[in-house]
Structure formats: structure tokens, C-alpha cells
Amino acid sequence: MPSYNKPVYYFEVTAENCNVFGAINGFPFYKLNAEHACYFASPMNIGLVKGINKVQVTIAPVINGTPKINVKPVCKIALKIYEYGSISGPENGEKLQEVDVNSFGEFAYEFTNNSKIDFSSFFEGISKIEDTAKLKEYVSQLVKEVRKGDFYYFKKEFDYKLEQYAIAYYNDPAEYRDNAMIFFRDNIIGHLPDDYIPVDEMVTYTPFNDKKIWYVALTNGEDLFYSKPDEEESVNFVPVYIACHKGQYKIIR
């Protein structure tokens, strides 16, 4: 096996006639709508723990578009490793595992993390959220503050998430945090859609990892934070995953 100074673990899928969802150690990180043949790769470092890592995969029928009767999914899954900075692609990287799956269902794979990245303390520090009342209060506050354009509030609220991402992908935490917050300030705050008023019935809460991690989005399919279209009709968005970490609600991913 080659030696890697800054290893990045990837989950890569080439698929058709299915939707593919992936989670690493309980954290959802991958989603692919493969109604037609397509390829998509995503790094997994943000969910790594020391030693054995578990990747849970769900292959489901396409529910959007034109239903295809009696058609089986075509899905090639690869777990790979790259050196940080390398370009991912079907012909690139070192394969740790590769499997062909031609049926719908749930599947699990494992690989050994040989890097120094270890988020075990994060996974051990989050607790199950059974009563979502406080979670919804926290989300309501997030919505209130983004509508006010309170940059300094979000600088604090995103601090934990951005520090974790910086560690996962070998960046300087202070520099990574500054660049990410400049993006949020310049592309989200002050650029919200005119009709951005998500009240409770417009927000969806999807639990993962035995109700320890919650993906918060809007019923119209948008992420919780998104911009109005720019001159080229492009929309910027920021996914929001929340957990109760050591007793405190946080944006964690």
C-alpha cells in the first residue's frame, strides 16, 4: 500500500435507476439521484474514527421522474483513498473495496482508517434527541438571526463545525473559518430570497444515527440557508446538521 502523508478517504458511486444514500459511522454524508447513469464521489474524512469505520449504504428506487417498471438498479460502489489535493475520479485513487450491487436494500461496508484523524470524541459526545421542542427552538433562533443578518452570531454558531472540517481536511482552522464565514456573509446573509420566512410548518427534521444527528431543511426541498438566484440563476446553500453535543445544541456539520 502506498504511503499517504495526508490521506483522504472517498466514497464513489457509478449508478443508474436508483437513489443512493450513504452514512459513515452514522453521519449522513452522501446522496445521489441516479435516475440516469451518473458518477459522484464524496470524501468521508469528516466522519472518521480511529480504526474500523462503518459505511452504511441505502439503495432505493427513484421516486422522481418517470418510474421504470421491473428495472433493477445498476450500482458500482468503491471505497478509495487519495493523497490530499489529488483529483478524484473513476480511474484515480487506491481502491480499498469495490462492489457491484444490483438490488435495492441496505448494505454495510468497513475499512480501516490509518490516518491521525479521529472524531470518536464527537460521536461519543452527542446524545439522542427524543423531545424535539428545544431543537425546534434552536432552529427558530437560527432563522431569526439569519433574517436579521447577524454575522457575529453565526460566526460563533459555525465555529465548532468549521473547526472540525478544517481538521478533517488538513486546513489551518483560523484561515478555514475566516474563508467560510466570508462566503456565508457575502453569499447568504443579505442575499436571502424575498419570501424567506420559514415558519415551523415549513421546516423538516430528519433524524440520523439513532436520533443523535438531525438534518434540518425546508419542505420546498431547499437547505435551511439558501440565497436568491444570482444573475446566472445560481443559488448558494448551506446544509445544516444539528446535534446536542455535551448538553448544548450545535450546528455540527
Q: Tens place of pLDDT for every residue, the chain, 253 residues? A: 578 899 999 999 999 999 999 999 999 999 999 999 999 999 999 999 999 999 999 999 997 656 566 789 999 999 999 999 999 999 999 999 999 999 999 999 999 999 999 999 999 999 999 989 999 999 999 999 998 999 999 999 999 999 999 999 999 999 999 999 999 999 999 898 888 876 667 899 999 999 999 999 988 778 999 999 888 889 999 999 999 998 999 999 9
Stated length of the chain: 253
**Could you give the angle at the alpha carbon of 133 between the alpha carbons of 121 and 184, nearest 5°?**
65
How far apart are alpha carbons 223 and 189 in whole angstroms?
14
Kindly report the number of other CB atoms within 10 A of residue 2's CB atom: 7
CB 197 within 8 A of CB 180: no
For residue 30, give Cα distances in angstroms to 62, 90, 120, 137, 179.
16, 17, 20, 27, 24
Joined together, the cell numbers standing for residue 239 give: 446544509
DSSP 46: G
What DSSP character marks residue 223? B
Scan for cell 446553500, then name that residue: 237
- The answer to whether 192 touches 223, Cβ cutoff 8 Å, is no
The model's pTM is 0.89
Q: Report all structural domains of the chain as residue ranges with CATH numbers, in order of start.
A: 7-118 (no CATH), 124-251 (3.10.450)
In 61-172, alpha helices (H): 120-125, 133-148, 151-157, 159-168
Task: Decide: 166 and 206 in contact? Cβ < 8 Å.
Answer: no
| pLDDT number for residue 222 | 83
Q: In sequence order, what are the residues at sequence separation of 6 or more whose Cβ sits closer than 8 angstroms to the Cβ of residue 214?
A: 129, 132, 135, 205, 206, 207, 208, 241, 242, 243
Q: What is the pLDDT of residue 153?
A: 93
CA gap 225, 216 in Å, rounded? 10
Grid cell for residue 163: 473547526
